[in-house]
């Protein structure tokens, strides 16, 4: 089949003050992590999510690794998280020699199944890693109660959910430490980049040290701990400040994209599309996800391939952590029933929904998708 279109799965939107702020970096010579836009970005983003401190880093993955280390989670400690998530979450735990404890996801929200958390808690449990996925936030109220009851940290992975709220409170505000990613497919982007946010000054201080090779104040090259060079550059932060100025517009556009797709696709019975709202929030539609009916003979890969042959980009849902080849020798990943996370991977994928997509392209994608299910 000949390519008919050129509709990527994501196209970022850079139509604010990005060029002005980048030129300022170049004109002043401040292009490294020492430049003033880094602090400005940290202050503005942390304030957006009701946290006191922001620590800008090189990626969302870096933010997760620093978060685990800053909480002194290490050898033998357990962290509860969903199996259906990006590998960065489990990797951050494993790299700090801690133990991931996996729970399944929900079929309706695609988020972690909160009802499974408490039964997984042991005397080794140190934290719950909350991962907000795809468009809706995780149900936070039960998690906050569980964490308080068992004196556990909450690590809130908010990579996909900047601008989203849970019952009116910003996602990213619930964690003892919360993390963000600014990869180009996120609601705001710095190209590559991430951030840790917290209201705990001690945790914030540890994060700043860990991202900067644990240089010592007053004796720079004397090291008592090992860290990373996970700094964000002033150039990246300049883009981030410009993007953050457009956050409300980006969120509004994301909702428009998702709502239009829902209007065009929701009546088809061969797949489901995430709805515009639930009892906790409006769908931010970080991505517009499709779940193929498991009664059909073909899985997500089949339909993704057909769309790709038309020049329409797609991306699969995450591959479950308990099935990852790299973790096959880890005892904690050998779980008996995480069937929903497996089903999400087998039947779920998302369609073009970047901020740069046009309504005409949304209509084209919808038309082609519906044609495949006639």
Could you read off the pLDDT of 270-298 as tens digits, one per residue?
999 999 999 999 999 999 999 999 888 89
Kind plus residue range of the DSSP H or E element containing 103:
strand 99-103
Architecture of domain 18-245 in CATH?
3-Layer(aba) Sandwich (3.40)
Tell me 105's DSSP state.
B
Where does CATH 3.90.1150.10 sit in the chain?
A: 247-372
Q: What is the predicted pLDDT for the residue at 177?
A: 98
Nearest to 163 by CA among 152, 150, 172: 172
Tell me what the mean pLDDT of segment 292-319 comes to.
94
Where does CATH 3.40.640.10 sit in the chain?
A: 18-245
- Evaluate if residue 39 carries a pLDDT over 90: yes
Nearest to 187 by CA among 205, 172, 204: 172
What pTM was estimated for this model as a whole? 0.95
Continuous H helices in 74-212: 87-95, 140-150, 201-210
Sign of CA dihedral 156, 161, 162, 167: negative
Tell me what the mean pLDDT of segment 302-329 comes to.
95
Q: Which of these ranges, 121-125, 271-275, 328-332, 347-351, has the smallest mean pLDDT?
A: 328-332
pLDDT tens digit sequence for 90-99:
999 999 999 9
Q: Strand order of the sheet with strand 125-131?
A: 53-57, 194-198, 177-181, 153-157, 125-131, 78-82, 99-103
Instruction: For the chain, give the mean pLDDT.
Output: 95
Q: What is the predicted pLDDT for the residue at 2?
A: 62
Contact 113, 103 (CB under 8 A): yes
Q: What is the predicted pLDDT for the residue at 223?
A: 81
User: Which residues on adjacent β-strands are paired with residue 348?
Assistant: 291
Kind plus residue range of the DSSP H or E element containing 366:
helix 359-372
The percentage of the chain sitting over the pLDDT mark of 70, rounded to a whole number, equals 99
Nearest to 357 by CA among 318, 316, 312, 309: 312
Number of neighbouring beta carbons within 10 Å of residue 5: 15
CA separation for the pair 5, 312 (Å, rounded): 7
Confidence band of 181 (pLDDT split at 50, 70, 90): very high
**Which of the listed CATH numbers 2.60.40.10, 3.40.30.10, 3.90.1150.10, 1.10.1240.10 matches domain 247-372?**
3.90.1150.10
pLDDT tens digit sequence for 183-232:
999 999 999 999 999 999 999 999 999 999 888 877 788 888 888 999 99
Q: Give CA separation, 255 vs 10, 12, 136, in Å.
A: 15, 15, 12
Q: What is the predicted pLDDT for the residue at 94?
A: 96
């Amino acid at each position: 089949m000949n390519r008919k279109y050129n509709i990527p799965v994501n196209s970022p939107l850079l139509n604010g003050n990005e060029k002005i702020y980048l030129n300022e970096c170049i004109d002043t010579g401040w292009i490294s992590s020492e430049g003033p836009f880094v602090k400005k970005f940290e202050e503005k983003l942390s304030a957006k999510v009701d946290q006191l401190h922001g620590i800008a880093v090189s990626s969302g993955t870096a933010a997760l690794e620093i978060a685990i280390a800053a909480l002194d989670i290490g050898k033998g400690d357990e962290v509860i998280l969903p199996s259906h998530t990006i590998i960065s979450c489990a990797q951050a735990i494993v790299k700090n020699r801690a133990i991931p404890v996996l729970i399944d996801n929900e079929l309706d929200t695609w988020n972690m199944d909160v009802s499974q958390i408490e039964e997984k808690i042991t005397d080794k449990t140190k934290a719950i890693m909350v991962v907000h996925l795809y468009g809706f936030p995780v149900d936070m109220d039960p998690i906050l109660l569980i964490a308080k009851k068992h004196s556990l940290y909450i690590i809130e992975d908010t990579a996909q959910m900047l601008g989203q709220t849970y019952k009116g409170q910003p996602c990213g505000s619930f964690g003892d430490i919360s993390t963000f990613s600014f990869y180009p497919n996120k609601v705001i982007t710095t190209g590559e980049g991430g951030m840790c946010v917290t209201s705990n000054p001690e945790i914030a201080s540890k994060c700043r040290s860990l991202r900067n090779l644990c240089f010592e104040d007053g004796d720079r090259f004397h090291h008592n701990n090992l860290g990373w060079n996970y700094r964000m550059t002033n150039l990246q932060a300049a883009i981030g400040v410009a993007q953050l100025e457009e956050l409300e517009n980006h969120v509004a556009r994301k909702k428009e994209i998702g709502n239009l797709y829902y209007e065009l696709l929701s009546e088809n019975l061969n797949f489901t599309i995430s709805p515009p709202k639930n009892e906790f929030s409006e769908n931010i539609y970080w991505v517009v996800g499709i779940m193929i009916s498991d009664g059909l003979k073909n899985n997500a890969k089949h339909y993704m391939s057909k769309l790709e042959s038309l020049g329409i980009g797609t991306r699969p849902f995450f591959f479950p952590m308990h099935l990852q080849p790299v973790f096959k020798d880890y005892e904690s990943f050998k779980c008996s029933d995480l069937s929903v996370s497996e089903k999400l991977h087998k039947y779920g994928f998302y369609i073009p929904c970047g901020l740069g997509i046009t309504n005409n392209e949304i209509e084209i994608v919808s038309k082609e998708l519906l044609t495949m299910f006639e």
